[in-house]
A and B are shown apart, each in its own frame.
Chain A
Amino acid sequence: MRDFLELAVSATASGCVYALVALAYLVMTRPTGIINFAVGEWAAVAAFGGFLTLTHAEWPYAAGIAAVTAAMFAVGWATERLTVRPLVERGAPVLAPILALLGMLVVFRELISVGFGPDPRPLPQAFGFGRLEIGLVAGSYQSFFTIGVVLGLFALTWWFFERTLAGRAFEAVAIDRRAAALMGIDLSRVTALSFAGGAAIAGVAGLLVAPNTSAHYMMGLPLAVQGFTALVIGGVGRVEGALVGGLILAFAEQLTVRYAPVPPGLAMGVPLVLLILFLLVRPTGLLAAREARA
């Protein structure tokens, strides 16, 4: 039991990270229809930003995190301006920006590799190393910190989409771009903001995993795959779907590693198996969008 609860805490923590990457995909794909696989590289860029501010410059933890997240917001904005908008303005099909962003994925990775070399760089834990025990539930400080931050971000995102006029405008663009434009919603601003927000969210995901895995120039791809799988499991329609998808994926992974008689290396395949299963059986994800098109 104790063993299982410990596993549950660490699975919840990594599920929260997957969920955050899924959320980054979601805030971009809802209003624009664009799937941006560069989210994993954004997480890596932020992790190296964390290395520079927290490890190298030894800034206070909160200041470093805030600075890197703000910088990622700008990176997302700039990425949209430079690679997505020129294509959209020329009336390119939606596949064009998706491919351009795949190109950006390589650019980001190579920039990191050139700048920092292939060696992993350490990041400090938010509250240092240590274990927290609440009754039978036990886990590392970093696990609980991760869970808390992610749940807070999900609550904030949910509030933005459901309770603010700007958030409703995002939803309106997702439902009907043309009607949204006729309401006076600035589509290019919504697109830019969704990329900026997506990059900031992906950046936080990178900052949360990096203390465990270290910042590494190859860390982006697995995150991109896990986050995408979580998105497919949960469905692109709702913010909650990303959270549910991330948790399901992490539990499936960790339970496989712990209890199934397979070599640990094969656990890498769990997201792909789930991805294929869901695409075959339930391509809309578990939580379908509240679509009531009349």
Chain B
Amino acid sequence: MLELAGVHGGYGGADAVRGIDLAVAAGEAVALLGPNGAGKSTLLAALSGVLRRRGGRALMDGADLMRMPSHRIVAHGLAQVPEGRRVFAPLTVEDNLRLGTIRLAGASRGAAAERFDAVYALFPRLAERRAQRAGTLSGGEQQMLAIGRALMSRPRVLLLDEPFLGLAPRVVEEIRRALEALRANGLTMLLVEQKLDIALGFASRAYVLVKGRIALAETTAALARRGDLASLYFDLAAGAG
């Protein structure tokens, strides 16, 4: 579904991401782990086309995302839930969702209505608060809105950048269940996460990113047996030198 080869990219001077190869099969959920500053978010930004890309290929259904501008990437079927949610705070929940339909294929009224129904069914709380300004929602609800907004374009691949960060355990569970429902429906997902225990069981495989390179690729089950992730990062970083 998604096949990366030698992806380079970064903001300003040196590339934060230096030659990433990875693959995500259709309907698979894959986690991207790694310490702070490893380049996880930079890689997602490169895939969505919101930073300067400096080489490599990212094939999705035969088309190279690295050669498309960001709006064409969304139209091609890849959406991203950004780090820190970044909902449009002054706008209503409904307007936030409607903005997600801007690249919806065959943007007829019916197609948009179908997306609204799907997202409201996934997160009934958004339906209750549809007329409320996004900035007045709780953190968990904003995360639901950020996910819902990305789903409005009916993506085939969803990138999620730390969707559980700073949320209460009960809300984490709620969102995890929603993501599992999406995966059961065949949505392909690439998830950036700091904590393995959350990604575990949800993602089948994981890549560990260290200093802008893939340091390890394993199933999450095998990764869980390695024990302490922090010391693993440290060992990998030392190995990467």
Contact = CB atoms under 8 A, between A and B. Distances in A.
A58 interface: no
A179 B86 contact: yes
Interface stretch (A11-19, A182-190, A270-278): A182-190
Given A171-B91, A178-B82, A294-B89, A183 B102 contact: yes
Residue from A184, A185, A187, A293 having most chain B Cβ neighbours under 10 A: A184
A184 B91 contact: no
Given A178-B82, A292-B135, A183 B100 contact: yes
A149 B68 CA distance: 42
Nearest to A166: B102
Nearest to A176: B86
Interface string A101-118: 000000000000000000
B99 A183 contact: yes
Interface residues of B, number: 35
Nearest to A189: B71
Given A169-B99, A293-B89, A179 B71 contact: no
Nearest to A179: B86
B99 A168 contact: yes
A184 B90 contact: no
Contact of A182 (B52, B69, B79): B79
Nearest to B92: A168
A292 B102 contact: no
B101 interface: yes
B153 interface: yes
Given A165-B98, A168-B99, A293-B135, A184 B86 contact: no
B100 A292 contact: no
A185 B86 contact: no
A175 interface: yes
A171 B89 CA distance: 11
B101 A291 contact: no
Contact of B89 (A180, A184, A291): A291
B64 interface: no
Contacts of B50: 178, 181-182
Interface in B73-132: 73-75, 79-80, 82, 86-91, 95, 98-103
Leading 5 A-B pairs by shortest Cβ distance: A184-B74, A292-B135, A184-B103, A179-B86, A186-B71
19 contacts: A165-B99, A165-B101, A165-B102, A168-B95, A168-B98, A172-B99, A176-B86, A179-B82, A179-B86, A182-B50, A182-B86, A183-B103, A184-B103, A185-B71, A290-B90, A292-B136, A294-B89, A294-B134, A294-B135
Interface of B: 48-50, 52, 69-71, 73-75, 79-80, 82, 86-91, 95, 98-103, 133-137, 142, 149-150, 153
